[in-house]
Amino acid sequence: MNVLLVGSGGREHALAWKLAQSPLLTKLWAAPGNPGIARHAEIADIAANDHRGLIDFCLRHSISFVVVGPEAPLVEGLADNLRTMGIGVFGPNKFPAQLEGSKGFTKDLCARENIPTAGYVRCETRDGALACLEDFGLPVVVKADGLAAGKGVTVAFTTEEAEGAIADIFSGHGASVVIEEFLEGEEASLFVLTDGTSLMPFGSAQDHKRVGEGDTGPNTGGMGAYSPAPVLTAELEARAIDEIVRPTVEALARQGNPYSGVLYAGLMLTAQGPKLIEYNARFGDPECQVLMPRLQSDLLDYFIACDRGTLGTMAAPRFSDETALTVVMAAQGYPGTPQTGGAIGGLDAAEAGGARVFQAGTRLDDGKLVASGGRVLAVTATGPDVRAAQAAAYRAVDAIDFPTGFCRRDIGWREVEREEA
């Protein structure tokens, strides 16, 4: 089977690496890809939002299956457009992808289905939102309603901060805001494959969203992650599936808009049990970079089953018991304006010790690898526990020569502290 992978980040490099190992694969293409992805796939220079261009390319190259990495094309209906043309897709259609595309859609679904999540109000005007603030204590969470690459959320510790966040949202393109109760607990990510009917747990992870050490500073797309997440015990995972994921999948199917693909539940493990913070309609980035190295089963086989509705006939996927940990190396300036063009070297030395460097924001400049985005590399290693995986990942980081880059030195710290206790 010829397969096209859509996307160009570290998540897609991890997917390309794993897909390329599939016995079901004839040829892997990637659009628009990056130099790391080009080691596993032939690159097609088509943007992820060029639906017409992607469909034409599939028809011309006998591509019968497309794996969509990022959320934006899904929220814009790429999966629907491909399916209309008879092309199989890993990823949900536009309607169910609203689970990620619209926080209001998700919160309303949770309310109807009694799914545990933070109490909320959805406001369409600035004055309405300001008035609603009075009903919440502090801290309070203010979210723009729409895709914001992890940056549309403010956890406000003062009323002034909350009012400022609301003003920002209504002064930009935003026309709708969700105000939420602050949930206390530890966050964990749960990945579940579904074909709309059957559910298949597909691993857990924890990421570090803040740019600074000790989880401080502005939010980012994620500065590092590890898998599995020991805090998400088998019992809590079962509760999250029964109380959160299954009712969501069933509600969408009942409405005639079944969800197929991976559902990524961002959970808060509160004293009352797991509560939903948000859904994503795709794998996490950098969580995917720690799931794929642990996956021992054929990824493509599961992706196809999600699309064809045959997930119920498959055995549970096998994941290694090892821990995988990834450290994101970002360009200075991130999550603000990153400094691009900085030279990157030493990747072979980093991988010589068994680590794997997934490329995110990279490009070739006169044949030389340089930084082209905020998050540039995801340096990933495995080990028998978090401490060992962390040590191996930082050994690889230290072998990389990227003077205009930076990384956090404490990825995995919570788990390392627990392991040492």
**Which chain residues interact with ligand AMP by CB under 6 A?**
118, 141, 143, 150, 153, 155, 180, 182-183, 187, 209, 266, 277-278
Q: How far is the CB of 53 from ligand AMP (least distance, A)?
A: 30
Q: Is 260 helix (H, G, I), strand (E, B) or coil?
A: coil
Closer of 258 and 284 to ligand AMP (Cβ)? 284
For helices 159-171 and 126-133, what crossing angle results, to 10°?
Answer: 160
Closer of 109 and 299 to ligand AMP (Cβ)? 109
Q: How far is the CB of 61 from ligand GLY (least distance, A)?
A: 29
Token pair 């209906």 is found at 77
Closer of 101 and 222 to ligand GLY (Cβ)? 222
Closer of 11 and 107 to ligand GLY (Cβ)? 11
Q: Of all residues in this chain, which one has the CB nearest to ligand GLY in the complex? A: 222
Q: Is 421 helix (H, G, I), strand (E, B) or coil?
A: coil
C-beta of residue 57 within 8 angstroms of C-beta of residue 82: no
User: To the nearest 10°, the Cα dihedral for 154, 92, 273, 134?
Assistant: 30
Q: How far is the CB of 382 from ligand GLY (least distance, A)?
A: 19
Token pair 């939903």 is found at 276
Closer of 150 and 309 to ligand GLY (Cβ)? 150
Q: How far is the CB of 148 from ligand GLY (least distance, A)?
A: 11
Specify whether the backbone of 17 is left (phi greater than 0), alpha (psi in -120 to 50) or beta.
alpha
Calpha distance 202→193 (Å, rounded): 6
Q: How far is the CB of 389 from ligand AMP (least distance, A)?
A: 22
Closer of 53 and 266 to ligand AMP (Cβ)? 266
User: To the nearest 10°, the Cα dihedral for 245, 326, 291, 43?
Assistant: 110
Calpha distance 404→153 (Å, rounded): 28
Applying CB under 6 A, the residues found at the interface with ligand GLY are: 150, 207, 221-222, 280, 284-285, 287
182 binds, among ligand AMP, ligand GLY, none (CB under 5 to 8 A by kind): ligand AMP
Spatial CA neighbour of 68 closest among 6, 25, 149, 4: 6
Q: How far is the CB of 208 from ligand GLY (least distance, A)?
A: 9
